């Protein structure tokens, strides 16, 4: 009986270690899946913003024909953001797009007719809403990345993560033009008011 007890203890410990390994692996998979799902949410909002750019370009060109360089920079930034596949390059491209959008809003200040147009005002409101959604989706994504990275890097789950090939993820820190406090915000009547786009 005494000879069996150590074997049972070893078997029990091995079973517990195996159970812990399975539970930890499953936790890593769930955390990684939440990161991927959250990134899909960010990607959808970024695409919504890009889809509004052609309408913005058209609205601005109708009133501000002398801003060709500004509009070209916006169009090029949109194309670069749409073509980016790597997360790092996407972040750079989307930041560039935010800067180009901010430049358009600044340029619009010199054109009272443009600022007063209903079409431009509606686009500003739509872009402000989308950028608020981008900020919210980015926060959710980064929160999920933090939880996932904690599992990947912390002891003892880091051992399972290393063995199973889990790698840490990067945060997505692109700044929207809303967070640059650019002049915007149109009222319900479509006329542009002074002030910034509120960031979430």
pLDDT digits (tens, 9 = 90+) for 127-176: 999 999 999 999 999 999 999 999 999 999 999 999 999 999 999 988 88
Residue 190 belongs to a domain: no
Q: Any residues with CB less than 8 A from the CB of 37 and at least 6 apart, and which?
A: 144
Q: What is the pLDDT of residue 119?
A: 93
Domains of the chain: total: 1
Query: Lowest mean pLDDT: which of 30-34, 92-96, 110-114, 180-184?
Result: 180-184
Q: What is the pLDDT of residue 175?
A: 85
Instruction: Return d(Cα 145, Cα 139) in angstroms, integer.
Output: 10
Residue 58 belongs to a domain: yes
Residue 57 belongs to a domain: yes
Q: What is the pLDDT of residue 181?
A: 54
Does 196 have pLDDT greater than 80?
no
Instruction: List the domain range (segments joined by +) for residue 149.
Output: 4-180
pLDDT digit string, tens, across residues 10-41: 898 999 999 999 999 999 999 999 999 999 99
Residue 91 belongs to a domain: yes
Instruction: Return d(Cα 52, Cα 123) in angstroms, integer.
Output: 7
Residue 108 belongs to a domain: yes
Query: Lowest mean pLDDT: which of 8-12, 74-78, 142-146, 179-183?
Result: 179-183
- Calculate mean pLDDT across residues 49-60: 95
- What is the CATH number for 136? 1.20.1440.20
3-state secondary structure 100-139: HHHHHHHHHCCCHHHHHCHHHHHHHHHHHHHHHHHHHHHH
What pTM did the predictor assign? 0.81
Q: What is the pLDDT of residue 86?
A: 85
Residue 186 belongs to a domain: no
pLDDT digit string, tens, across residues 100-123: 999 999 999 999 999 999 999 999
């Amino acid at each position: 009986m005494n000879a069996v007890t150590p074997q049972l203890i070893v078997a029990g410990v091995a079973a517990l270690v195996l159970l812990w390994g399975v539970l930890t692996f499953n936790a890593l998979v769930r955390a990684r899946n939440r990161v991927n799902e959250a990134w899909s949410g960010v990607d959808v909002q970024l695409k919504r913003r890009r889809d509004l750019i052609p309408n913005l370009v058209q609205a601005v060109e109708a009133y501000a024909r002398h801003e060709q360089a500004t509009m070209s920079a916006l169009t090029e930034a949109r194309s670069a953001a749409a073509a980016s596949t790597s997360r790092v390059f996407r972040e750079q491209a989307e930041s560039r797009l935010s800067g180009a959008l901010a430049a358009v809003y600044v340029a619009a200040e010199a054109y009272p007719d443009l600022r007063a147009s209903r079409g431009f005002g509606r686009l500003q409101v739509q872009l402000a809403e989308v950028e608020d959604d981008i900020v919210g989706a980015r926060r959710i994504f980064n929160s999920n990345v933090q939880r996932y990275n904690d599992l990947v890097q912390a002891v003892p789950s880091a051992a399972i993560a290393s063995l199973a090939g889990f790698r840490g993820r990067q945060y997505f820190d692109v700044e929207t033009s809303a967070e640059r406090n650019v002049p915007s915000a149109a009222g319900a009547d479509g006329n542009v008011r002074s002030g910034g786009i509120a960031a979430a």
